Amino acid sequence: MIQPKNPTKYIIFSVLLITIDQASKMLVHKYMEPGFSGQIALIGDWFKLHYVLNPGMAFGMELGHEYGKLFLTLFRLAAMGAIAWYLVNLARRGAASGLLWALAMILAGAVGNVIDSTFYGVLLGNAPYGSPTPWFHGQVIDMVFVDFWEGFVPEWVPVWGGQYYSTPIFNFADSCIFVGVCTILIFQSSFFRHTHEYEVEEEVGETEPQSDKATELEDRETELDKVKPLDNEAIKLLSDDVIEPIGETVKPRSDENSEPQE
């Protein structure tokens, strides 16, 4: 039987990931120079630490609108609340543990980048020039650079065609979101089958009282069926043994002391 789960450990896991994300960003901000001058090679020339500020979405994408950043931050806040509610709800419904861990990672990534967007414009003063307000316009700190391609995108590619790009630079929060989403996509059949089984058990549990009443009524009907009407043979036996003796005429007792009258 599928049992409900306590969502506390998944929330704690999210908090741990958020702490790692924010600590890594603060260390990069304090000890690294932005751009190529402060770049640190970790594995050869393809895996590096590269400090950049990202004013847009994950992996450096942006919304080309004056209030695009504000809309994006508000959307992230709404998504963060929805994911948190969904995680707690699924845990209480006994969802698969793998699904809950993956959602906890997605929640951590969303919260990590929301903190940057909401507060870094004020705390670190990194809001883009000309922003209406530093609140909700903070730039996300990215630092993980997997450098295996760079060049111009062909003209025929929509939106990005004709521009120079390299492989995206991302952060720990982006990694959490990416891994969580990929985990759900890969194992979705087993994750959501587990959830469906719990829903079926709930439905069965709700109908059990009605089925018990129906079973009780059937048992009573069976007992009543066993009590059959008396057939003619039984009636005859009863009449011979009981009814006839009761129906006999009781003769008066003769008084031994009395004399017959003449």
* Enzyme catalytic residues: 142, 174
213, HSE (Cβ side, Cα atoms, 13 Å): 4
What strand order describes the sheet that includes 47-54?
40-43, 47-54, 140-146, 169-170
95 within 8 A of 194, measured Cβ to Cβ: yes
Cα 144 from Cα 182, distance rounded (Å):
19
In sequence order, the β-bridge partners of residue 140 are: 54
Q: What are phi and psi of 221, to 5 degrees?
A: -60, -40
Structure tokens that stand for 241 in this block: 């043994």
